[in-house]
Amino acid sequence: MYKVDKKVLVTGCSGFIGFHLSNSLMEEGNQVIGIDSLNSAYDVKLKQKRLEKLNNNNNFTFFNNNLSREDSLNEIRNYDISTIYHMAARAGVRQSFLDPQSYIKDNTYATATISNFCKEMDIPEIILASTSSIYGDSGEKLMIEDKDEKLKPPSVYASTKLSGESLSKIILEDTNIKLIIARFFTVYGPYGRPDMSILRFIHWIVNEEKVKVFGNGEQQRSFTYIQDVVDALRSMSGLEKSFTFNVGSDITVSLNEVIKLIENFSGKNANIENLERAYKDPDVVRPNLGNIKKTIGWEPTTKIQDGIEKTVAWYKENESFLKELVYVNE
């Protein structure tokens, strides 16, 4: 049984993870205060579709605010908030090299803003979304949380997320506020981002377009189904002290294996176009889950086959809308 809160603040509520998290919180009677800037990091039509669904729930209140503005949280100060889930971010490794200023504003500055707000309002806990990208390429080694001093983020995106983590720790250091950092690995599922590999692959295969793969497709990734991620986030609330957790699957799968599964569940064959390998693209991304298993008893339960099947089925059910989205190479 999850903790039921009076009011929960979810930033990035119309993002992929924020949307599913908000739905889960409201299903159990929580009131969700949602903040999102609806930025154009990827096709905003999908964000608007998620928001439309959230707005159908009477337990949802929405504010269209950008956390990089100092006054962005003024309207929230009158709410008695018990937990902050800071899911807002600008994601995308390749795009971050093209527009570093936006990533610094949306990932680093915004995280400082919400952390300061948490401190000023004396909110008991903040659960902060981070990323496995901060680890870079660990080779065959498992990625472990307690080696921060050895981290060398390989991209602007990863650097801004790690900087956000560091700022939150410093801002909240001398308080009793619990800071829980969730380092997500590759999250997928219904309502996923159109700039991420699995939804792009499904779209291209179902519509018989070229499937663009960077490198030979043998890169191993920790694909983690969205419901498992939401379960992890819900289980992090109410801990007695601060933690940093990896949130992912310790069973890795190659991009080529994912494509084969999509072919199987869609009944279509992939027309693969192999492109030049992306800059600093790691061969293997696999988390050590010892900390999260020991502390909150979480591990993913959705097998990649089942998650892909559900995501393909969702795409087919919503194909007329999803075909109109812009699918970019991230």
**Sequence-distant (≥ 6) Cβ neighbours of residue 208 within 8 angstroms:** 268, 271
Neighbours of 224 (CB within 10 A): 26
Taking the chain, what is the end-to-end CA distance rounded to the nearest angstrom?
37
Cα–Cα distance measured from residue 61 to residue 8, given in angstroms and rounded to the nearest whole number = 10
Mind telling me the catalytic residues?
A: 157
Evaluate whether 194 touches 187 at the Cβ level (below 8 Å).
Answer: no
Cα–Cα distance measured from residue 218 to residue 127, given in angstroms and rounded to the nearest whole number = 33
Evaluate whether 33 touches 26 at the Cβ level (below 8 Å).
Answer: no
Evaluate whether 223 touches 307 at the Cβ level (below 8 Å).
Answer: yes
DSSP E strands, the chain: 7-11, 31-36, 60-64, 83-86, 125-131, 178-184, 186-188, 210-214, 220-221, 223-225, 243-247, 253-254, 271-275
Evaluate whether 205 touches 268 at the Cβ level (below 8 Å).
Answer: yes
Evaluate whether 115 touches 168 at the Cβ level (below 8 Å).
Answer: yes
